Amino acid sequence: MSTGRLMKSGLAAGLLAAGCATRQAAVVPTPKPDGAVVAATALARADAAAGVDAYGAGRRAAEELKARLGAVEPHVVVLAECFVGKADKARALKGVTSVFGKARVVGFSCYGVYTCEGVADRQAVGLLALGGDGLAVRTALVPDQRSLGLTLERDEAALKAALGAAGRALAQGVPANAGTRLLVVLADTHSPKNQLLLDGVQAVAGEALPVTGGSANKNAGQNWVYYGGRLYTDAAVALALDGAFSVVQGGAQAQDNQAVLDSARTVAAGLRQRARGAPLLVTAFDCAGRKGKLEAIEQEQKAVLEGLGPAGELFGVWCAGEIGCSADSPAKPVGRGWHLMGTLLQAAPTAGMME
């Protein structure tokens, strides 16, 4: 597992207030143009027979991730977990923050996680760490999107207003600059509501900025977003990644087993073929409905890896809505369902926003 060149970075947190919501922003130092971007992943499962509970799974994943990072201090650790009850979710989060602290951990609940090493869709914790002196990470939280109980069928205007305002607040919390390469959005906003949130983000950040992300598990009692060591519902988190890299994006929709596998392989191969620098990381925000079409949960992970070939780290998450560039919108990020939205981060001597 390669983690690239190593360099420590610091993290400081602040608190800002604006508009309809409070947003908390975390900032790291300005990235070096010739610096390293480091990515690492880890996956751990609870195991009652072995005495590993949700806290133990979170801590085990965090300790494994820390070991893989070596001397690198991560700027951010993204958590995706697939426990059922709130108590176990909170314990999994606590296990992760016991290693990395609360300030740098963000994430959400999901339906499953896959990395290069494995796949899990229950009682598991997946982690992605980003660091290096060639990367800066800024994060923001909207703790209340004011969309709870609103539906498109009954409350379309109110829902558009609420999620549009939440999206604008997110983008204002991590304002894009000349060095911003990617925005990641994790939200309790399932498809098709994710497009309304993205509309607000793009009203501030513009439509050319690469954006990816996913929606939290939409099952009642499982729709949690994590920030600062706390659990939120009807909330959204954004991560702005600035630095010495560029991105390639692609996505596709599918709703039956073979199409899911073919599209996963095709999206991954397309990302790899278009990459010009050394691949560092591929993220795959993947619809849980697609997972439901698999005969075995390992099938889609294997298809993605077949398409990618050797390509650094892989962090795939099955979720309830996906953001990225799709076949019908290859240059402008969109919010969709039933999609796999892939983003490849690559080292690039002259990093542009998107290849």
Using the predicted structure, report yes or no on whether residue 8 has a pLDDT greater than 50: no
* pLDDT tens string 220-274: 889 999 999 999 999 999 999 999 899 999 999 999 999 999 999 999 999 999 9
Strand positions, DSSP E, 99-220: 105-109, 112-115, 119-120, 124-131, 135-142, 180-187, 211-215
Residue pair 214/186 in contact (Cβ under 8 Å)? The answer is yes
CA distance 192 to 175: 25
Mean pLDDT of 311-338: 96
DSSP H or E run through 24: strand 21-27
* Region label for 145, one of left (φ > 0), alpha (ψ between -120 and 50) or beta (otherwise): alpha
What the chain holds in terms of domains, given with CATH numbers, is: 12-243 (no CATH), 245-347 (3.30.1330)
0.85 exceeded by pTM: yes
Residue pair 171/205 in contact (Cβ under 8 Å)? The answer is yes
* pLDDT tens string 183-200: 999 999 999 999 999 999
Percent of the chain surpassing pLDDT 90: 85
DSSP H or E run through 242: strand 236-243
Report how many helices (DSSP H) and strands (DSSP E) the chain contains, helices first. 7, 20
Using the predicted structure, report yes or no on whether residue 1 has a pLDDT greater than 60: no
Specify the pLDDT at position 354.
52
Specify the pLDDT at position 27.
57
* pLDDT tens string 81-117: 999 999 999 999 999 999 999 999 999 999 999 999 9
More confident residue, 19 or 144: 144
Torsion of CA 115, 271, 265, 335, to 10 degrees: 80
**DSSP assigned state of 352:** -
* pLDDT tens string 21-53: 445 555 567 898 889 999 999 999 999 999 999
CA distance 272 to 310: 9
Q: Give the pLDDT band (50/70/90) at residue 19.
A: very low
Specify the pLDDT at position 322.
98
Mean pLDDT of 208-230: 96
Beta bridge partners of 336: 322
Please choose, from the candidates 62, 54, 44, the residue with its C-alpha nearest in 3D space to the C-alpha of residue 91: 54
Backbone angles phi, psi at 46, to 5 degrees: -70, 150
Q: Give the pLDDT band (50/70/90) at residue 317.
A: very high
CA distance 41 to 62: 9
Residue pair 113/45 in contact (Cβ under 8 Å)? The answer is no
Specify the pLDDT at position 10.
28
Tokens representing 33 are 């143009």
